[in-house]
């Protein structure tokens, strides 16, 4: 079994689909484990010659994005602003917000922090029998997948357990439960799942369809590299219609989906979000236990933290730094939200909801950077009402450069030529976080210019009026969004090359 490979499978599949569309004992520690970005006076200060040059303004005009474009670039060592355009203007940061979440988590939890998922019993195991309840206990691990649940089932089997005489319970209360990250997103997109202290497969179920002699053969499963357990908590039926492509309703604890027959073609598959993640994980775990000959009663969700007598199995996540690297690389929204919530609770407080945690992170970021202009509504950037200024982002990045804790986690950003092709041997080395919503594009990170000078930068572009006018039927793939995003990425590349020419010495 390889949990890391399975996680890569899930992450890559989510990234591929996103590209087509235009991802008690279990609680975090009570105090910060490794302070890494403590509040201090701002080192970002304007210097002479910081206004946008005629060349930079021409780059913005050529992009023809409409809406607003703003940016700031600073010397990474001194913090002096080198050039800016609307640097104090706050726009939606999209997934650039995940870079702030990463810094927040490193400060509050520490790079070596691991999340735990456990299987516990309320009475001791005697002669292969538990007279009490068996409890699947979530500990806020965003990377738990079916491979991990299979390992927990194997560990339980190894204890000699044969029979449960009580209930099979599941607890996801380590984090507040939310039905979806952003209420304004389409119901069926896999990058907008529910949040809970127990997540499985990034809280997505795989819907697959194949044409058959009688119509379509449909499966809903919790697949990984080595397992493909069917699930009943999410169900699909084919409807005779052209639009909408998907509909969703919840009946009891079950997610009911319908799909338009005209949209199916010969076959295919996609990840759909799960709205009851703790019960989803419990159902899959029960199936895996049955494969070991251990029959569990139907799962039930408990809202009370378990007080167990024995731990039968335990699975630890990879260190936080590794989870953050994957989060930044694949831009997984659920990872950002769960890690952000756990970070907000690291001091022992309990977050009532996602918005409260985002406000707490925003205040932390403003204090750490020594500037204002940070007002986030979530930890992933999925909500388009979040606001962040380039100057505030640059201030945070400059302090992160001094700590050398963020750039190693960021993936390289390849500059592109006029036809959009990546320049793989470009002399400017960039490590950054991208952010993309429909008609919103952002980029923030680090660049090493020719000659070795390091700079930090943030570029935000948003046409909020055009975004607000997207018809409901086009929210996943609005007309013109792909071309707009391509021009925005070209703008980012040309600005970075402009800065290299101006500040590389």
pLDDT in tens, 206-261: 999 999 988 899 999 999 999 999 999 999 999 999 999 999 999 999 999 999 99
Cα–Cα–Cα angle for 31, 37, 39, rounded to 5 degrees = 90
Q: Is the pLDDT confidence value at 133 over 50?
A: yes
3-state secondary structure 17-28: HHHHCCCCCCCC
Q: Which of 105, 101, 115, 116 is nearest to 34 (CA)?
A: 105
Residue given tokens 């919840």 in the structure block:
250
505 falls in which pLDDT band (50, 70, 90)?
Answer: low
Average pLDDT over residues 107-121: 97
Q: Residue 19 — pLDDT band, cuts 50, 70, 90?
A: very low
Q: What is residue 36's predicted lDDT score, i.e. its pLDDT?
A: 40
Question: pLDDT tens across 153-205, in order?
Answer: 999 999 999 999 999 999 999 999 999 999 999 999 999 999 999 999 999 99
Q: What is the pLDDT of residue 12?
A: 55
**Ranges 36-40, 66-70, 168-172, 356-360: which has the least confidence:** 36-40
Considering Cα of 125, then 303, then 285, then 311, what sign does the dihedral take?
A: negative
Look at residue 7 in the predicted model and tell me its pLDDT: 54
List of E strands, 290-409: 299-301, 310-316, 374-375, 387-388
- The H or E element spanning position 495 is helix 481-503
Provide the 3-class DSSP secondary structure of residue 5. helix
Distances in Å between the Cα of 452 and the Cα atoms of 39, 79, 215, 297, 503 are 28, 16, 62, 63, 10
Nearest to 83 by CA among 72, 91, 92: 72
- The Cβ of residue 451 has, within 10 Å, a number of other Cβ atoms equal to 10
pLDDT score of 72 more than 80:
yes
| Average pLDDT rounded to a whole number, residues 60-66 | 96
Written as six digits, the tokens of 50 are 């910081």
In this structure, are residues 72 and 391 in contact, taking their beta carbons and an 8 Å threshold? yes
If one compares 394 and 304, the residue with the highest pLDDT of the two is 394
Per-chain mean pLDDT for the chain: 90
> What is the mean predicted confidence (pLDDT) over 426-455?
96
Quote the pLDDT of residue 155: 98
Contact 461, 94 (CB under 8 A): no
**Would you tell me the crossing angle of helices 320-330 and 333-344 to the nearest 10 degrees?**
140
Domains of the chain and CATH, by start: 3-29+115-316 (no CATH), 45-111+319-503 (3.40.710.10)
- Half-sphere exposure in the Cβ direction for 203 (13 Å, CA): 35
Q: What is the pTM of this model?
A: 0.91
3-class DSSP state of 278: helix
CA distance 208 to 217: 8
pLDDT at 10: 62
- The predicted model gives 265-279 an average pLDDT of 96
């Amino acid at each position: 079994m390889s949990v890391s490979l399975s996680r890569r499978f899930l992450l890559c599949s989510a990234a591929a689909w996103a590209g087509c569309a235009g991802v008690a004992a279990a609680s975090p520690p009570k105090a910060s484990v490794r302070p890494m970005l403590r509040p201090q006076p701002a080192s970002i200060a304007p210097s002479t010659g910081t206004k946008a040059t005629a060349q930079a303004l021409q780059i913005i005009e050529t992009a023809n994005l409409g809406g607003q474009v703003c940016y700031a670039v600073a010397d990474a060592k001194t913090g002096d602003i080198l050039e800016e355009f609307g640097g104090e203007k706050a726009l939606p940061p999209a997934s650039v917000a995940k870079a702030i979440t990463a810094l927040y988590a490193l400060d509050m939890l520490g790079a070596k922090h691991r999340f735990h998922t456990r299987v516990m019993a309320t009475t001791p195991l005697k002669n292969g029998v538990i007279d009490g309840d068996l409890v699947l206990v979530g500990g806020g691990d965003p990377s738990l997948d079916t491979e991990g649940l299979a390992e927990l089932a194997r560990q339980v089997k190894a204890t000699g357990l044969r029979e449960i005489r009580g209930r099979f319970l599941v607890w996801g209360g380590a984090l507040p439960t939310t039905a979806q990250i952003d209420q304004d997103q389409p119901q069926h997109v896999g990058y907008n799942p529910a949040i809970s202290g127990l997540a499985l497969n990034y809280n997505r179920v795989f819907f697959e369809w194949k044409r058959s002699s009688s119509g379509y053969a449909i499966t809903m499963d919790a697949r990984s590299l080595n397992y493909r357990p069917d699930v009943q908590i999410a169900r699909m039926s084919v409807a005779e219609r052209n639009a909408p492509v998907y509909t969703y309703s919840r009946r009891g604890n079950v997610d009911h989906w319908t799909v338009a027959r005209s949209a199916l073609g010969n076959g295919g598959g996609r990840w759909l979000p799960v709205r009851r993640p703790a019960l989803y994980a419990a159902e899959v775990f029960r199936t895996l236990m049955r494969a070991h000959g251990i029959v569990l009663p139907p799962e039930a969700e408990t809202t009370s933290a378990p007080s167990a007598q024995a731990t039968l199995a335990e699975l630890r996540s990879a260190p936080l730094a590794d989870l953050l690297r994957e989060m930044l690389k694949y831009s997984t929204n659920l990872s950002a939200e769960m890690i952000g919530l756990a970070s907000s609770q690291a001091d022992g407080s309990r977050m009532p909801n996602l918005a409260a945690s985002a406000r707490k992170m925003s205040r932390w970021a403003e204090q750490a950077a020594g500037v204002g202009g940070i007002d986030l509504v979530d930890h992933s950037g999925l909500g388009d009402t979040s606001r962040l200024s380039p100057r505030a982002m640059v201030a945070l990045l400059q302090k992160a450069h001094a700590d050398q804790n963020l750039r190693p986690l960021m993936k390289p950003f390849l500059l592109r030529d006029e036809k959009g092709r990546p320049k793989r041997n470009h002399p400017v080395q960039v490590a950054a976080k991208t952010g993309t919503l429909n008609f919103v594009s952002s980029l923030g990170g680090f660049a090493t210019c020719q000659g070795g000078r390091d700079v930090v930068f943030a570029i935000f572009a948003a046409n909020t009026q055009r975004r607000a006018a997207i018809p409901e039927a086009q929210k996943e793939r609005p007309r013109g969004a792909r071309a707009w995003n391509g021009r925005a990425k070209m703008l980012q590349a040309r600005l970075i090359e402009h800065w290299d020419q101006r500040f590389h010495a």
